[in-house]
Amino acid sequence: MSSSIRRAAGVFAAFALLGAAVPAAHAQDGRFQVNVHVEYESGRTTDFKVGEILMVSVRDAQNAASPRQICWSPAPIDRPACSSSNQGAPSQTGATTLTITMSDGTTVRHTLQAGPAAGTLQPNTAAATAPVPFEVTCASQLYGQRLEDGTYAMPLAVVAAGQQVAGYYNAGGGYVQVAPYSTFTSGFMSNKCLKPVAQASTQAKSTFKLKSNTEKTYYLKIPAGFKVKGFSGDATGVSYAIDVTGGGFGNGVANPISSKGGGVHLPFLGATVTKDGYDSTKKQWFVRVKTGKLKKPLTLEILAYGSSAT
């Protein structure tokens, strides 16, 4: 077997192993614990991006139920909103809510945050990087092997025009290592029919260090000319997250903020959100947090995705 084939085979084997890995669980009170991690990296559970393929699992403390259906809102890229699959890629920046129906009929909810997609394709490397979402502009063959002479072999499937793929790195010879979002089958595809998906969203963010034994309202500072995505109705473009200071966001609590206010507010290490929403008088998004004796230093982040005036 050639060195190039061995390298490609090693990459696929590594992807399969990492996809099966079980990372540290995300915090959630009660019987069920929801775990979300990036499939083609070393179990990363934070700082998700649009277009990254995520794996979802649920641990039942009673070992009595397993996930039967997972619904994504908004729907994942090139996948139905609800299915039995435990894989999907966030399609929009901001909050994505997972509604998981267990085999005993119990419903579990989990909210994750996704930042803007990566915009630069990496050079020829097997290193774990966030993928660039591409649209396929013409029917293209997906191959499973790169041969020593630089050609590609082992046809896997033909990816139809209009589908989207996650592009990981330039493999050489005008080919890119990709994974179609509709199947998640990893392989190599010619770059002639790949067009980067436009990423028009930007973000406004305010962060605050929380103090023990206080109750305070925190406001998101919106730059002049910034238009929040989905402002009318339930604004899924605005969200908050509370996490351990310096630990990266994604392991604590996070929820979208509706313009109507309300929502589910779980306590986290001594901090509880008592209210959130949009203050029509001040014309600002806000989160009110009550703390007891904090078990660890905590940071609140209020984040909005939208567009800036040009």
Exposed, middle or buried by CB within 10 Å (0-12, 13-18, 19+), for 182?
A: middle
Q: What pLDDT does 236 receive?
A: 52
Position 16 confidence tier, pLDDT thresholds 50, 70, 90: very low
> What is the pLDDT averaged over residues 172-183?
93
Element housing 128 (H / E): none
Where is pLDDT greater, at 152 or 9?
152
Structurally, at CATH architecture level, domain 132-196 sits in Roll (2.30)
CA distance 269 to 17: 33
* Alpha-carbon 271 to chain mean position: 24
Which two three-digit tokens encode residue 226? 């910034």
- Return the SS3 of 181: coil
> What is the number of alpha carbons within 13 Å of residue 228 lying toward its C-beta?
27
Distance set, CA 227 to CA 113, 175, 255, 299 (Å): 19, 38, 20, 25
Separation of alpha carbons 124 and 119, rounded Å? 16
Q: What is the CATH number of domain 3-115?
A: 2.60.40.1080
Q: Is the pLDDT of residue 244 over 90?
A: no
pLDDT in tens, 182-241: 999 999 999 999 999 876 556 788 999 999 999 999 999 888 777 776 543 444 578 888
The identity of residue 291, as a single letter, is T
**pLDDT score recorded for residue 226:** 79
Averaged pLDDT for residues 50-68: 93
Residue 80's contacts (CB-CB under 8 Å, 6 or more residues apart) are: none
Q: Considering only 174-178, 214-218, 226-230, 247-251, which range has the smallest mean pLDDT?
A: 247-251
Instruction: Considering only residues 283 and 8, tell me which one the structure prediction assigns the higher pLDDT.
Output: 283
Contact between 66 and 102 (Cβ < 8 Å) = yes
Q: Are 291 and 79 in contact (CB under 8 A)?
A: no
Residue 36 pLDDT more than 90? yes
Q: Is the pLDDT of residue 308 over 80?
A: no
Asked whether the CA dihedral 168, 76, 256, 310 is positive or negative, the reply is positive
- Report the distance separating Cα 58 and Cα 62, nearest Å: 12
Which element (helix H / strand E) includes 277? strand 271-279
**Is residue 140 over pLDDT 70?**
yes
pLDDT of residue 97: 87
Chain-wide mean pLDDT for the chain? 81
Residue 247 CA to its chain's centroid (Å):
17
Confidence of residue 19 (pLDDT cuts 50, 70, 90): very low
DSSP state of 91: -
Q: Is 0.75 topped by the overall pTM?
A: no
DSSP 302: E
> Which sequence spans correspond to the domains of the chain?
3-115, 132-196, 202-308
Which residues neighbour 22 within 8 Å (Cβ) at sequence distance 6 or greater?
Answer: 35, 43, 57
CA distances to 47, 48, 73, 121, 143 from 249, rounded to whole Å, are 6, 9, 20, 25, 36
The answer on pLDDT for 33 being more than 70 is yes
123 within 8 A of 35, measured Cβ to Cβ: no
pLDDT the model gives residue 208: 95
Q: What is the mean pLDDT of residues 259-268?
A: 72
Q: What's the mean pLDDT in 36-52?
A: 85
The pLDDT value recorded for residue 262 is: 67
Residue 85, pLDDT above cutoff 90: yes
